[in-house]
Amino acid sequence: MKPLLIILFASMLFIAGNAQYNNANQPSRPNIVYIMSDDHGYQAVSAYGYGLNKTPNIDRLAKEGALFTTATVTNSLCAPSRAVMLTGKHSFVNGKVDNEARFDWSQDNFPKLLRNAGYQTALIGKIHMDGLPQGFDYSAVMPDQGEYYNPDFIINGVEEQIKGYITDVTTDLALNWLDGRDKNKPFCLLYHQKAPHREWLAATRHFPEYTKNTYPEPATLFDNYDGRGTAAQTAEMNILKDMNWAGDSKIKPELMDELGIPETLKWDKAAYIKNLGRMDPEQRKAWDAVYDPINEDFKKRYASMSKEDLMRWRYQRYMQDYLGTVAAVDDGVGRMLDYLEKNGLTENTIVVYTSDQGFYLGEHGWFDKRFMYEESLRTPLLIRYPKEIKPGTKINSLVQNLDFAPTFLDYAGVAIPKEMQGESFRNVVAEKTKKFRDAIYYTYYEYPSIHMVKRHYGIRTDRYKLIHFYYDVDEWELYDLQKDPHEMKNVYNDPAYLKVRKTMHKKLSALRKKYKDSDNNDQKFIKQFLKK
């Protein structure tokens, strides 16, 4: 072959090879939009059938994709849950065991691995972890918990305030990034809302409707915690006793003084003043028009209200504000799905909707989360990916937030690191297999601290749950979720469950060994906590 032909042939081979490489990086690989809200209980997603509210846009994901009935978390607390989601490793491995511990951003996370494989990545919204996020081409995150009105954002390391309502602002930033992204690369967008996190300030457009609604009470609203151990009896998350009057129930500080209502926590009135202080005159006018009459009505009724009346009143106030914030989250999901459809991205984009954990919406008389009981442990999870997931699919497998990282890597064709402890559920949601784990493992460390939920760990199967509370107690609880779905009776010492108890202890020991957890880890984190 003549030299000129050799050069030409070699050039053609180089171009073909380079084209093959470039094609591997084209958007034929699925895009990922991972939507996470904060403290959104599955009971407040209408696709789950609890009848509390309507979330038509989130429900679209169930109609057009899959709904997971038993998705759970490994640690029901905001920042630890996010660390697990990013790393695919349990809290005691990734180091973020509670909200106070620092997160080591230098460790691998799935956005880093996707980025290295040619994805364009962004994190927009709430992450609730210190340090500049690593693994993202673009990050716009709110400091700490974020603010509902006229929020601050740290955009690629630079802080600025943005006018508007936090949920809408977060959605705007996410859609703007999608508009300006590199269209030649697949993308992974983490789109994370603050809502419906405490203290539950809805968008002004949702004030009139949601503050007038009356919501059904859960069967266990007046739970007295008989049949359970010390942990349930001493937790400080009762709606009547432990919820703040100003910050949470929106009773004006001056009215609290007039009626002789003391602050539940020292930052109760301060939270109310700070939250409303961020509003501009127009926003504050809309607030006063709705919440002034609520305060006036409460003032007239307070003296004649029994404890039961107050509990019911506070439950309704809680639900009105909580579900009002959920409404804007649903609006944002609708805007995102419409954007994907308008831009021809629906077929090749995996859309996930979930929360960082579950939340108590009055069950057991509680708000907040933390416990391994169902309302806190379980989280909403809905996924749409038309190429692989049939519309209307329901998945009962025991998936966890531990599994997101390996699942996303699996979809992207990126090798899953051995140190990741989760499992890809890609074949499960595509209904190619029904085999998955038969038990999930859970840990909780943040005690003594706000809400005073004791340290515990445990396992859950499709029917049973075994929990060990420790540190300043040594108590075991066992629940038969089939016979006792509300977890009202601990059957650990019931002779009829002796065989089940032994089996569950064996499973617990096996999972602790598999995930490399032990009492030594507990002692290490206890010492770290006591040093704070």
Contact call for residues 415 and 409 (beta carbons, < 8 A): yes
Tokens of 407: 């699942």
Compute the chain's Rg from CA coordinates: 24
Closest residue by Cα to residue 42 from 62, 64, 24, 26: 62
Secondary structure element (H or E) that encloses residue 125, with its range = strand 120-125
- In DSSP terms, 35 is beta-bridged to 191, 353
Q: What is the pLDDT of residue 526?
A: 59
Task: Report the half-sphere exposure of 502 (CA within 13 A, side-chain side).
Answer: 4
448 prior amide bond cis, ω within 30: yes
How many helices (DSSP H) and strands (DSSP E) are in the chain? 18, 14
Residue 17 pLDDT greater than 80, yes or no: no
Contact call for residues 84 and 152 (beta carbons, < 8 A): no
Closest residue by Cα to residue 145 from 162, 128, 168: 128
**pLDDT tens, residue by residue, 168-177:** 999 999 999 9
Secondary structure element (H or E) that encloses residue 320, with its range = helix 307-342
Q: What is the pLDDT of residue 198?
A: 97
> In the structure, what pLDDT confidence band is assigned to residue 389 with cuts at 50, 70 and 90?
very high
Closest residue by Cα to residue 145 from 202, 198, 201, 80: 198
Per-residue burial over 117-133, b = 16 or more CB atoms within 10 Å of its CB, e = otherwise: bbbbbbbbbbbbbeeeb
Q: What is the pLDDT of residue 521?
A: 78
Rounded to whole angstroms, the maximal C-alpha distance in the chain is: 103
Q: What is the pLDDT of residue 314?
A: 98
Q: What is the pLDDT of residue 527?
A: 60
Provide the 3-class DSSP secondary structure of residue 111.
helix
Handedness of CA 243, 247, 251, 253 (dihedral sign): positive
User: CA 195, CA 40: separation in Å to the nearest integer?
Assistant: 8
Contact call for residues 47 and 56 (beta carbons, < 8 A): no
Q: Strands 31-37 and 138-141: what pairing?
A: unpaired
Task: Tell the CATH topology of 27-200+321-438.
Answer: Alkaline Phosphatase, subunit A (3.40.720)
**pLDDT tens, residue by residue, 174-233:** 999 999 999 999 999 999 999 999 999 999 999 999 999 999 999 999 999 999 999 999
Q: Estimate to the nearest angstrom the gap between the alpha carbon of 472 and the chain centroid.
A: 28
User: CA 297, CA 451: separation in Å to the nearest integer?
Assistant: 30
Residue 116 pLDDT greater than 80, yes or no: yes
- CATH 3.30.1120.10 intervals, the chain: 444-531
**pLDDT tens, residue by residue, 30-86:** 999 999 999 999 999 999 999 999 999 999 999 999 999 999 999 999 999 999 999
User: CA 437, CA 314: separation in Å to the nearest integer?
Assistant: 40
Q: What is the pLDDT of residue 506?
A: 98
Contact call for residues 129 and 109 (beta carbons, < 8 A): no
What are the distances in angstroms from CA 139 to CA 167, 298, 484? 16, 43, 44
Q: What is the pLDDT of residue 478?
A: 98
User: CA 40, CA 47: separation in Å to the nearest integer?
Assistant: 13
Report which residue type is found at 340.
L
Q: What is the pLDDT of residue 21?
A: 33
Closest residue by Cα to residue 184 from 27, 406, 321: 27
CB-based burial label for 480 (10 Å; 0-12, 13-18, 19+): middle
User: CA 262, CA 45: separation in Å to the nearest integer?
Assistant: 34
Share of the chain above pLDDT 70, in %: 93
Can you tell me the mean pLDDT for 401-418? 98
Provide the 3-class DSSP secondary structure of residue 128.
coil
**pTM higher than 0.85:** yes
User: CA 378, CA 373: separation in Å to the nearest integer?
Assistant: 8
Tokens 């025991």 found at: 398
Can you tell me the mean pLDDT for 268-292? 97
* Pairwise pLDDT comparison (499 vs 9), residue with the higher score: 499
Can you tell me the mean pLDDT for 107-116? 98
Contact call for residues 124 and 108 (beta carbons, < 8 A): no
Q: Please report, to the nearest 10 degrees, the dihedral formed by the alpha carbons of residues 295, 297, 301, 306 taken in order.
A: -60
**pLDDT tens, residue by residue, 363-377:** 999 999 999 999 999
* Pairwise pLDDT comparison (499 vs 25), residue with the higher score: 499
Contact call for residues 405 and 87 (beta carbons, < 8 A): yes
Q: What is the pLDDT of residue 525?
A: 64
Task: Tell the CATH topology of 444-531.
Answer: Arylsulfatase, C-terminal domain (3.30.1120)
Q: What is the pLDDT of residue 529?
A: 53
- CATH 3.40.720.10 intervals, the chain: 27-200+321-438
Residue 518 pLDDT greater than 70, yes or no: yes
User: CA 318, CA 303: separation in Å to the nearest integer?
Assistant: 20
The overall average pLDDT reported for the chain is 94
